[in-house]
Amino acid sequence: MKEIIVASTNEGKIKEIKAMLEEIGIEVKSLKDVFDQDIDIEENGKTFQENALIKAQTICDMIHKPVLADDSGLEVNALDGAPGIYSARFMGHDTSYDIKNQYIIDAVKGKDRGARFVCAMALCRPDQQPILIEEYFDGEIYDKIEGENGFGYDPIFYVPELHKTSAQLTLEEKNQYSHRAKALKKLYTILKGEGD
């Protein structure tokens, strides 16, 4: 397998996946590289894994090629695990992350600041069982928006052992510690074991 279609148009996500998989000779393409128009897939699963599988299987069935989908989000202890699977849609699709991030900072004041990023990945290939993986990146909610790298909730996700927010990490650092990096490493190990 020399090519994987990533069932996403999120440029930040594609960049992170490309940085890891292209190192091992797998060409990564996004939905924009494959389709002329936007493909709207209803993510109606109740877990990150269910949503990842829905995305990967839908596109795989359409193009009959290996498709990787990732469903990820932020779980905040003080918000009972919210925004969770609704991370992208939290407070509405059109609400900027500056507003979402500030809301979360305000919501955890004086409370448990613990949080984690979750990444579920599904790799679907024609006529094969899907591969499902779930990994985590533990940290806490920072008291301000900090950092220029990354996307989404990265500027408020503080990583205590690195003394930085996720948005202050270099791409190399992120690809060493993040939930997505851990999931991709696990996927790579599985594929290598298959001799693929």
- Express each pLDDT in 173-188 by its tens digit: 888 899 998 998 998 8
pTM beyond 0.85, yes or no: yes
Closest Cα partner for 125 from 23, 53, 38? 53
The answer to the question of whether 114 is labelled as a binding residue is: no
Cβ neighbours for 62, distance < 8 A, ≥ 6 positions apart: 39
Report pLDDT digits (tens) over 57-93: 999 999 999 999 999 999 999 999 999 999 989 999 8
Among the listed residues 187, 68, 75, the one whose alpha carbon sits nearest the alpha carbon of residue 134: 187
Indicate which residue of 71, 94, 143, 196 is catalytic. Answer: 71
Active-site annotation holds for 70:
no
pLDDT over 90 (residue 192) = no
Domains in the chain, please, with CATH? Answer: 3-194 (3.90.950.10)
Confirm whether residue 3 is marked as ligand binding. no
Q: Over 60: is that where the pLDDT of 196 sits?
A: no
Would strands 3-6 and 27-30 be described as parallel, antiparallel, or unpaired? parallel
Residue 180 in marked binding region: yes
Higher pLDDT residue, 16 or 117? 117
Report whether 12 belongs to an annotated binding site: yes
With contact defined as beta carbons under 8 Å apart, do 157 and 117 qualify? yes
Out of 31-35, 77-81, 82-86, 125-129, which region has the weakest mean confidence (pLDDT)? Answer: 31-35
